[in-house]
Amino acid sequence: MLMNHLLLRKIFLIDMTFKGKNIILGVCGGIAAYKAVELLRLLKKAGAEVRVVMTESALEFVGELTFRVLSENDVCTGLFNTDVSSVRHIEWANDADAVVIAPATANIIGKLANAIADDALSTIMLAVTSPVMICPSMNSNMYENLAVQRNLDILENDGMFILEPGSGELACKTTGAGRLPEPAMIFDRLEKLFVKKDLKGKKVLVSAGPTREAIDPVRYISNHSSGKMGYAVARCAELRGADVCLVSGPVAIDPPFGIDLVKIETADEMAGEILDRMDDADIIIMVAAVADYRPAAPEKLKIKKKDNTNGLSISLIENPDILKQAGKRKKRQFLMGFAAETNDLEINALIKMEKKNLDMIAANLVGVAGSGFGSDTNKVKLFLKNGKSQDIPVMEKTQIAHRIFDSILAEHGAEHGREEISHVP
């Protein structure tokens, strides 16, 4: 109970980024200990101050020096046999904004569940009051062992976050649950611990990426959309606790963790998926760059090159305007679109908002540095149905996504009796 209270307090006090955060990385003895090195690298890259605590058996798998060099800190390998004094261990526990134990063996899980402190990591853990994420990794029979599961339940009830291991072939040649998730996933789930879950209970439907409209079996009409903005919107909603469905055209980026991904190719397919799902959604955000036209009659066979012709004409017909249809059908939903413009940004965005019956539109200029297709950053202006607007300067697409949800919650939340939330940087 006390742990839960402390956990909540910390989550609300700290912001979502790792910059300047003190993270304790506990590493136990398992073949997956090498993945902790990559996790450390990701945390450092994100600006975290990382303090590594290794158990004696972890030292059998990865050298302490690797963690010392990468963390730019002393590594705690024992209560009495390191430069880091036992008093400093308590300081580390006090300073921690979060703790992640990856890999976590059955041994450390058992000790934490029973308040046993017989080495550096288990001792520090008793003094920790920050959020804790445990990443179990072991042989699948060990993982499924009733006592281990019982201990994990205890830790979960104590307020710790347990990251479920993946399934597959394990180092011990058995197949089943027990594999340590990839470092990128551990990093992402750790970030989620820091984010206020102000979209909890909300169903968010997002579209992203381009559509492809077939000319023949090997060629298509499409556009330069990378999907980065839509994926950032979906990821941000998931981090903030929403139940997210992402309907995506073909892109070359990895989907966010913890979402329901629906892959489509054509505008027609996207229309079907979005319109089928919209009645159930609370917030719908169309970020996709939908092709407005498609070839009227795609060829069944590859179009062959012909000599001495005056080029080739393809007759195009209009695709459904998904957002406009959603605008006609919407009832309680908050409906948002994006307007990619090369000129007259404001007037074009306002016309689109009106024509498509939107609650909000994000307008951005394409073809300028730091904004639009393919870029990791964007610069948008938000226009709301109620006449308000907000300029968002150039920033990472994930940060823009947070600003968008801040605005949506401020408007939509107010309508539905929610308190206005503060900005999540």
Min dist CB 321 to ligand CTP, Å, is 4
In angstroms, the CA 3 to CA 379 distance is 41
Min dist CB 240 to ligand CTP, Å, is 21
Q: Which of 107, 123, 319, 378 binds ligand CTP (CB under 6 A)?
A: 319
In angstroms, the CA 101 to CA 33 distance is 10
Contact (Cβ atoms closer than 8 angstroms) between residue 140 and residue 172: no
Min dist CB 251 to ligand CTP, Å, is 14
Nearer to ligand CTP, 352 or 397 (CB): 352
**Options 28, 172, 236, 245, the catalytic residue:** 172
CA trace torsion 296, 298, 304, 307 (10° rounding): 0
Other Cβ atoms within 10 Å of 212 Cβ, number: 20
Q: Does 337 bind ligand CTP (CB under 6 A)?
A: yes
Residues 176-215 contacting ligand CTP, CB under 6 A: none
Q: With CB under 6 A as the contact rule, which of the stretches 83-91, 108-116, 298-306, 316-324 interacts with ligand CTP?
A: 316-324
Q: Which of 143, 220, 334, 338 binds ligand CTP (CB under 6 A)?
A: 338
In angstroms, the CA 36 to CA 397 distance is 27
Is the alpha carbon torsion for 121, 7, 104, 157 positive or negative? positive
Q: Does 364 bind ligand CTP (CB under 6 A)?
A: no
Q: Does 92 bind ligand CTP (CB under 6 A)?
A: no
- Chain Cα centroid distance, residue 402: 12
Q: With CB under 6 A as the contact rule, which of the stretches 112-120, 235-243, 249-257, 282-290 interacts with ligand CTP?
A: 282-290
Q: Does 380 bind ligand CTP (CB under 6 A)?
A: no
Apex 315 CA angle, 312 and 317, nearest 5: 155
Q: Which of 15, 38, 56, 321 binds ligand CTP (CB under 6 A)?
A: 321
In angstroms, the CA 407 to CA 226 distance is 24
Nearer to ligand CTP, 183 or 327 (CB): 327
Q: With CB under 6 A as the contact rule, which of the stretches 101-109, 183-191, 317-325, 380-388 interacts with ligand CTP?
A: 317-325
Min dist CB 343 to ligand CTP, Å, is 10
Q: With CB under 6 A as the contact rule, which of the stretches 65-73, 74-82, 240-248, 318-326 interacts with ligand CTP?
A: 318-326
Min dist CB 350 to ligand CTP, Å, is 12
Q: Does 322 bind ligand CTP (CB under 6 A)?
A: yes
Nearer to ligand CTP, 192 or 356 (CB): 356
Contact (Cβ atoms closer than 8 angstroms) between residue 246 and residue 409: no
Q: Which of 286, 384, 408, 410 binds ligand CTP (CB under 6 A)?
A: 286
CA-wise closest residue to 232 among 419, 377, 56, 27: 377
Q: What are the backbone dihedrals phi and psi of residue 361, each rounded to the nearest 5 degrees, phi first?
A: -140, 140
Q: Does 339 bind ligand CTP (CB under 6 A)?
A: yes
Other Cβ atoms within 10 Å of 193 Cβ, number: 21
Annotated active-site residue 236? The verdict is no
Q: 16-35 mask for ligand CTP (x: CB under 6 A)?
A: --------------------
In angstroms, the CA 372 to CA 224 distance is 10
Other Cβ atoms within 10 Å of 357 Cβ, number: 16
Q: Does 288 bind ligand CTP (CB under 6 A)?
A: yes
Q: With CB under 6 A as the contact rule, which of the stretches 65-73, 237-245, 314-322, 384-392 interacts with ligand CTP?
A: 314-322
Min dist CB 347 to ligand CTP, Å, is 12
Active-site residue list: 172
Which residues here bind ligand CTP, judged by CB under 6 A? 267, 286, 288, 290, 292, 319, 321-323, 337-340, 352
